[in-house]
Amino acid sequence: MSINRVKGTYDVLPNESYKWQALEDIIRQTLTLYNYKEMRTPMMEYSEVFHRQTELSDMVMKETYDFFDRGDRKLTLRPEGTAGVIRSYVENKLYTSQELEKIFYIGPNFRYERPQKGRYRQFYQFGVEAIGSVNPELDSELIILAYDFIRRLGLKGVKVKINTLGDDASRKAYQEALEHHFRPHVHELCKDCQERIDRNPLRILDCKIDQNQKVVKEAPVPLDHLNETSKAYFDEVLKNLNAVGISYEIAPKLVRGLDYYSHTVFEIEADIEGFGAQNVLGGGGRYQSLVKELGGPDLGGIGFACGMERLLLALEAEHIELKSEEVLDAYILVLDDALKITASKILYDLRHQGLQSDMNYSNKSFKSQLKHALKMNAKYLVILGQDEFKKGLVGIKDTKTEIQENVPITKISEYIREKVGK
């Protein structure tokens, strides 16, 4: 019987994993510059972390993986990273240690949706959260960070799309305006959107079925329903972006896909060959009540997330290599089975000196060993034969120049380190 991977999942094979590692390296380097520290939370949480009365997005209502454990407790595989981070922030009382907690995470999430290129049922995200402050300068920092990160990947035409939902009062006024707008046209909308009018009419703007309907295109925008406090807040965010020279565009209909957002929401785009209109690489926004909903104090936060698969597809489309596949510094070829123990000692010494090294363990012929060494792109071949060994020597061959020299067996590591510059 053939057993295949689960639908909507994928394998990262050994010849691809270096791309993931290179991307993660840039993530960690960038976030360290901005003084964000990593948090690792469980892949599953009690369901109420995600299934809150205030969260009525399709992601939570339709796409979560929910199950009961043997103790009859309802659990959910995390569909996104923010809620679990906030649960940990509250449970561990991180709000008592300092005014602002700056966190990032990298890990898998799970959503039951139709698999397609760059979109899977198990997918990886990295995300950033700044928790404990309501400040337009902090909103700007998150946007600048997201923009800076995409630029550091080497992608071109990076642009921010930004909008504001305003504070609670502004958001409520906007929801009422949307309900008033959509109610006379309810029968023109899909079944889900007919229900969204009562639950949260903002979600109609996200609907993939109705997004091209005239009634949706003509819907009111949040900017027309902001109170003075919210207008001033948004103006400060934009002033900070202008000061740094960040390229942005106000997107009046942008609301993002989760119900906990308020005030600033944004997405990061880049010009990517072949991506067409689907060039959004990440996004996020401010949340004002999530900490309180999960049992903490009344503190705000802001965050964003990027899909790792989508970033890698974008880099591939633009022919950007963050890092070349690792190659071996040395590969040991054994001409005589009696020298295998010696070869193992040489191999240990090479690795101990920081040289990436390997040898063949399959009792293959010299020709097969050589073929494998060249397939592994080894820079140097350490050829261990009986005649040379009796003289205290090994042959070391440069695979690029094909020049071979005899080197004292006690000087192998020193010789190769000098050649490869380690």
The confidence score (pLDDT) of residue 277 equals 61
- Mean pLDDT of the region 269-294: 87
Confidence of residue 10 (pLDDT cuts 50, 70, 90): very high
Residues 6+ apart with CB under 8 A from 225: 166, 170, 173, 174, 177
Q: Which of 51-55, 83-87, 311-315, 404-408 has the lowest mean pLDDT?
A: 51-55
pLDDT at 260 over 90: no
pLDDT at 312 over 70: yes
Could you tell me if 173 and 216 are in contact, meaning their C-beta atoms sit under 8 angstroms apart? no
- Mean pLDDT of the region 210-239: 91
First to last CA, the chain: 48
The confidence score (pLDDT) of residue 56 equals 66
The confidence score (pLDDT) of residue 257 equals 67
pLDDT digits (tens, 9 = 90+) for 65-76: 999 999 999 999
Whole-structure pTM value: 0.88
pLDDT at 83 over 90: yes
Strand 248-250 relative to strand 74-77: parallel, antiparallel, unpaired? unpaired
Domain ranges (residues) in the chain: 17-167+227-317, 330-420
Which pairs from 171-179 meet CB under 8 Å and 24+ separation? 171/222, 171/262, 173/225, 173/227, 174/202, 174/220, 174/222, 174/225, 175/200, 175/201, 175/202, 177/220, 177/224, 177/225, 178/202, 178/204, 178/205, 178/219, 178/220
The DSSP code sequence of 364-403 is: --HHHHHHHHHHTT-SEEEEE-HHHHHTTEEEEEETTT--
- Mean pLDDT of the region 132-148: 95
Q: How many CB atoms lie within 10 A of CB 177?
A: 17
The confidence score (pLDDT) of residue 307 equals 94
Confidence of residue 240 (pLDDT cuts 50, 70, 90): very high
pLDDT at 97 over 90: no
Helical segments of 80-130, H only = 82-91
- Mean pLDDT of the region 392-405: 96
The confidence score (pLDDT) of residue 99 equals 80
- Separation in Å, CA 346 to CA 332, 394, 408: 8, 11, 12
Could you tell me if 105 and 99 are in contact, meaning their C-beta atoms sit under 8 angstroms apart? no
Maximum pairwise Cα distance, the chain: 95
CATH topology of domain 330-420: Rossmann fold (3.40.50)
116 compared with 307, residue with greater pLDDT = 307
H or E, element range at 17? helix 17-33
The single residue listed with the structure tokens 């040898």 is 359
Residues 6+ apart with CB under 8 A from 119: 113, 307, 309
Confidence of residue 209 (pLDDT cuts 50, 70, 90): confident
Please state which CATH number belongs to domain 17-167+227-317.
3.30.930.10
pLDDT at 308 over 90: yes
The confidence score (pLDDT) of residue 53 equals 78
The confidence score (pLDDT) of residue 354 equals 95
Rounded percentage of the chain residues whose pLDDT exceeds 90: 71
- Mean pLDDT of the region 25-53: 95
